[in-house]
Amino acid sequence: MSTKTEEKVLKGGEFIILETDFKSNFIPEDLNEDQKMIRSMVRDFVESEIRHRGHKLEEQVSLLEQAASLGLLGAHIPEEFGGMALDTHSNTLISEELGRGDASFNTSIAAHTGIGMLPILYFGTEEQKHKYLPGLSNGTLKACYCLTEPGSGSDALSAKTKADLDIDGEHYILNGQKMWISNAGFADVFIVFAQIDGNKFTGFIVDKGTDGLVLGAEEHKLGIKGSSTRQVFFENLKIHKTQILGQIGKGHLIAFNVLNIGRYKLGTMAMGGCKRSIDEMVKYANTRIQFDHPISSYGAIQYKIAESIVRVVVLESTVYRVSDLMEDKKSQETAMGTGYAAAMLKAAEEYAVECAIIKINGSEVLDYVVDEMLQCFGGYGFSEEYLPARIYRDARINRIYEGTNEINRMLAINMILKRALKGELDLVGPAWAVQKELTGMPSMEIPDGPYGLELRSIREFKKTLLMVAGAAVKYQMDGKHDLKDQQEILMNIADIAIDAYNTESIYLRLMKLRDKGETNLELFEAAMRIFIWDAQTRIIKNAQDALASFAEGDELRIMLLGVKRFSRYDAPNVKNLRRMIALKAIEVNGYCF
């Protein structure tokens, strides 16, 4: 397995076969003073405004305009279009801090700044950019994104909304229906997708007030009740051809590319929500007295606190790692003369796999943390009079929108395999090397460095991934199955990849902290060891399930032995390590990293 040294920017998906130099990896502790000031500003806004009003539908417009006055709506937009084009890390921490606020407002601002604004920034003409982006940045215009239909969700390209060229040759007539449209109730700008000539999937920009634009009633939702969610109808809506967004028949490029950064931001906001939920959990556990002791003194509660923190600190390590990759790619592109918007687009497209991982992991970690928070609150957590009930309901949507987690898992693996088939990602050589290794004696060598056992496990997790994925592809090439029909196997492979990537991310963070001279790393080390031990168990299970789904006989036996060979991390005393983390959180009365 190679080590990245000369080239800082790894390609998307290359984490499977290459190792990152920890010195070039970005960690949260690398944030500079300007970025920390931005974090402080956003946190003040969250605590003073969003937490009090963000869950109310009638407050969304006011809060968006207040966010605009702080520069938050145009933080990713060039100055010529009314923004300030902050670096990727600054935009990441903005999303994280907003995640500490309220999920309804997060839905509103994410839909506006992401899928609402980015299609115009990425694919709009200069005229369209100058017409819309300044208002979208200063909050005088609000945006929404109309893709989903009653019969097309994940299968977006099967949309039935149609756009027929009018007899004047200058306008299109739109007819159709969209649903689950966030911000629809107050939006001024509608990004709409329709079929021209029945099969040319195309984007349009539709202005509020256009004849034929009709809104349904606000949906009654399980959660995020403060966000606006409506159906949008187009009834013989006449729109000039200058409002076409991008190229005719190329709407899929818009629809799919803007979702990459949206997935990244969703996972990042979820991380902020996790930290707030842990704060609420620990504060309550410290004050709730049962049997003459605060419930935070009991091991069962300490497990919930510590396990929540472990999952979040690993998620955070991965989030800022990917933030760094996208920032480096954007800088690399702009240095070569690529425009700002195109560079942003290429960065998000390059790391679509990693963005999907963050979306999946962030949303699922949030679900875990929120569930454990509610459990700590007991009966009070189940009452709508207390905060956990709303947070619990709000969190559930994250596994559905921006592409369901099931779709994202299969998307990530399919992208990796497609890049391998195109020769953009060399999986064949490393996969073949792993197969040959299965027939030899296992190496007992431990890598040099302070965390040699952990590094060995990371390498072996990747070998397991290559072994399972390589065998699954070989069976497809031999005509024994078609992977696109084996979704269970793809899900297994995706989960191995997610665990391998997250494990490497926390390891890289520890190595960077040591390199920076940090000495008090016991909590980080505890989190890393707990996570690697648990990840190893999950990887074994996913690998065994996948292999047993298609291999048989001696081949299956050899590969199952390989799974065992690549699972050699020594069992740590996870009880004591979790207690160490929990006691620190109890001491500081909240998230302790």
Residue by residue, DSSP assigns 248-289 as TT-HHHHHHHHHHHHHHHHHHHHHHHHHHHHHHHHHHHHH-E
Give the number of other Cβ atoms within 10 Å of residue 293's Cβ: 10
CA angle 359, 12, 532 (to 5 degrees): 60
Helix (H) or strand (E) run with residue 376 in it: helix 352-377
Helices (H) and strands (E) in the chain, counts: 19, 12
The CB-based long-range contact list for 544-550 (8 Å cut-off, 24+ gap) reads 545/488, 545/492, 546/468, 546/472, 546/488, 546/489, 546/492, 546/493, 547/468, 547/471, 549/486, 549/488, 549/489, 549/492, 550/471, 550/472, 550/475, 550/480, 550/481, 550/486, 550/489
Question: β-strands 244-245, 200-207: how paired?
Answer: antiparallel
In order of 415, 435, 493, 544, 591, the CA distances from 467 in angstroms are 18, 7, 10, 11, 38
Residue 69: exposure state from Cβ atoms within 10 A (0-12, 13-18, ≥19): exposed
Active-site hit among 402, 454, 504, 525: 402
Tell me phi and psi for residue 324, to 5 degrees: -65, -45
Contact 226, 106 (CB under 8 A): no
Residue 474: exposure state from Cβ atoms within 10 A (0-12, 13-18, ≥19): middle
The number of CA neighbours under 13 Å toward the Cβ of 390 is: 16
Report the distance separating Cα 273 and Cα 302, nearest Å: 20
Report the distance separating Cα 293 and Cα 178, nearest Å: 54
Q: What is the CA radius of gyration of the chain?
A: 24
User: Which residue carries 């290459």 as its tokens?
Assistant: 18
402 is catalytic: yes
Structure tokens at 486: 């084996």
- Which active-site residues does the annotation give? 402
